[in-house]
Amino acid sequence: MNWKTLEEDRRSPLALFALLVVLMFALDGCATIDRNLSPLELLAEGENVVGTAAHTLADSADAGIIERGSDEYDKAAIAILDAGEALDRGWELYASGDVIGAVASREAAMDLYRRLVRPTLVKYSLESSE
């Protein structure tokens, strides 16, 4: 990236913001997350992540950043709902005393979020800043 060009570009604040977002998510991907959490805390964290993703996707659609009914929106929305079902199963297993199964369900939910939801949110956050 040419910094001089950036400085001269009248949209440079947006370009710089885009760079910042890329750096944030690059760091995010490398972040070491404390996994010394109890199954209950892991499930609660999963709720927060998937819940935030759902609200963020809905906010993005309300703001016109992503179109409801588009392939990407539907793909992310379905993945969020599937992740929610995985968390529901996790809670059922937790309540029945199967904490290993509960954590496995939570991991399935996080896997859906990582593969199918977060990339869409990152993409549209970058596109909307251009």
**Contacts with other proteins, residue ranges (CB under 8 A):** 13-14, 17, 20-21, 24-25, 28, 31, 33-34, 37-38, 40-41, 43-45, 47-60, 63-65, 77, 80-81, 84, 87-88, 91, 94-95, 118, 121-122, 124-126, 128-129
Q: Which of helix, strand or coil describes residue 20? A: helix
For the CB of residue 98, give the shortest distance to other proteins in the complex, in Å. Answer: 14
Residue 84 has a CB neighbour count (10 Å cut-off) of 18
Minimum distance of other proteins from residue 93's CB (angstroms): 11
* Shortest Å distance, C-beta 49 to other proteins: 5
Contacts of residue 121, defined as CB under 8 A and 6 or more positions apart, other chains included, come to 53, 56, 57, 60, 76
**How does 31-40 read in b/e, with b if 16+ C-beta sit within 10 Å?**
eeeeeeeebe
The two three-digit tokens of residue 84, written as one number: 């929610």
Nearer of residues 19 and 104 to other proteins, judged by Cβ:
19
Which lies closer to other proteins via its Cβ, residue 107 or residue 129?
Answer: 129
